[in-house]
């Protein structure tokens, strides 16, 4: 309690509190870095993982030594990894689609699983027309229509000048 009486500036007190608080937090609940893995790739094999590990080791060695021979080894492994990944993906997708050719439901389910989910491109909930919000869907569409018509007519006007 005695240390708090000797703080002369108001800002210094805040700095002291912040430093003390962060020391306690870091001691009892330190921040930890963790790696979040992506989704599982069914085409990814242990052999491919080993090849990528070798490539990464070769890259580290090439960076530290800066010798052209190590860079050459790294480039060879990089190209091999790239071709193996492409080959593994194509083989997997080909096998999944050919297995399900007779069943359209399973076929399209497999095709949709390959695609990346897109974010919905829905209309905004409202737009401003002359600083007044418009919520009606049809009026929103008309606002967009008017806007793009005016832009188109302005560009025609600009080209004539």
Q: At what angle do helices 68-99 and 104-114 cross, to 10 degrees?
A: 150
* Interatomic CA distance for residues 82 and 61, integer angstroms: 20
Domain borders along the chain are 46-114, 127-160
In angstroms, the CA 110 to CA 27 distance is: 49
In 3D space, the residue among 35, 91, 79 whose CA is nearest the CA of residue 54 turns out to be: 79
Tokens read off for 83:
């071709």
Long-range contacts at 72-78 (CB < 8 A, ≥ 24 apart) = 77/51
Q: What is the pLDDT along the chain (161 residues), one digit of tens a residue?
A: 455 566 566 667 778 888 888 888 888 888 888 877 776 788 889 999 999 999 999 999 999 998 999 999 999 999 999 999 999 999 998 898 888 888 888 888 888 877 766 666 677 888 888 889 999 888 988 888 888 777 665 555 545 54
0.85 cut: is pTM over it?
no
3 vs 21: CA distance, rounded Å: 15
């Amino acid at each position: 309690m005695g240390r708090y009486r000797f703080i002369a500036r108001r800002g210094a007190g805040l700095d002291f509190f912040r430093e003390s608080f962060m020391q306690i937090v870091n001691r009892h609940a330190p921040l930890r870095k963790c790696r979040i893995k992506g989704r599982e790739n069914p085409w990814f094999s242990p052999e491919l993982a080993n090849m990528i590990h070798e490539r990464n080791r070769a890259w580290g060695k090439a960076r530290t030594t800066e010798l052209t021979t190590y860079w050459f080894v790294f480039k060879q492994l990089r190209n091999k990894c790239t071709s193996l990944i492409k080959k593994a993906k194509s083989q997997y997708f080909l096998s999944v689609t050919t297995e399900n050719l007779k069943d359209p439901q399973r076929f399209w389910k497999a095709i949709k699983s390959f695609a990346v989910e897109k974010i919905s491109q829905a209309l905004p909930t409202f737009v401003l027309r002359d600083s007044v919000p418009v919520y009606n869907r049809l009026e929103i569409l008309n606002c967009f229509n008017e806007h793009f018509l005016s832009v188109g007519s302005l560009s025609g006007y600009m080209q004539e000048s």
